[in-house]
Amino acid sequence: RRVHGLCSRSSQRVSLLKDNVAMFLPSASHNRLKQLCETRWVERHDSIIIFLELYEAVVETLDDIQTGPYSSEAATKAGLLYNAVLKPDFIIALATMERTSSLVLPLSKALQSINQDLFVANELVTEVIQVLKDDRIDAANEFNVVFRKAKAL
């Protein structure tokens, strides 16, 4: 949320992120971050996916802001965020959030649809619970999947 706020509060910083996306991630399907929604899980999932997709450009943008001709307040915030997003625990948490939110995404979509079907939602809840139980049983393998994703960042 703080990265989105810093990168979107100034047209100059929005432009900087777009330029970095074009330079480092020319095949990216997005060129700006999406705000993390507190209550709507579908939008939350989208914001996590977009952040992961633009991760390299976000890191470069934060570095540019902290070292560039921006206000000292923006530079300080960018420096703090830059250091935070490069920490291994943040990267692992981000990859874990992406994995977890992708599990609940179909359920979230079903619950937020206009024509909610309680039976379908109940089946989806049962499926999510089963996948989480299976993940616990095979925790080492599931962690390796998340770790490889995090390592690729």
Query: What secondary structure, in 3-state letters, does 77-110 show?
Result: HHHHHHHHHCCHHHHHHHHHHHHHHHHHHHHHHH
Q: What is the Cα–Cα distance from 101 to 87, expressed in whole angstroms?
A: 21
pLDDT at 85: 95
Tell me, what's the pLDDT at 112? 83
- Amino acid identity for residue 40 in this structure: R
What whole-number percentage of the chain has pLDDT above 90? 57
Residues in the chain predicted with pLDDT less than 70, given as ranges, are none
Residues with Cβ < 8 Å from 71, sequence gap 6 or more? Answer: none
Tell me what pLDDT residue 25 has: 93
Rounded Cα distance, 149 and 92, in Å:
8
**CA 144 and chain centroid, separation:** 19
What is the pLDDT, as a whole number, of residue 100? 87
> For position 68, what pLDDT does the model report?
86
Alpha-helical regions (H) of the chain? 2-8, 11-24, 41-53, 55-67, 72-85, 88-112, 118-137, 139-152
Tell me how far apart the alpha carbons of residues 98 and 90 are, in angstroms, rounded to a whole number: 12
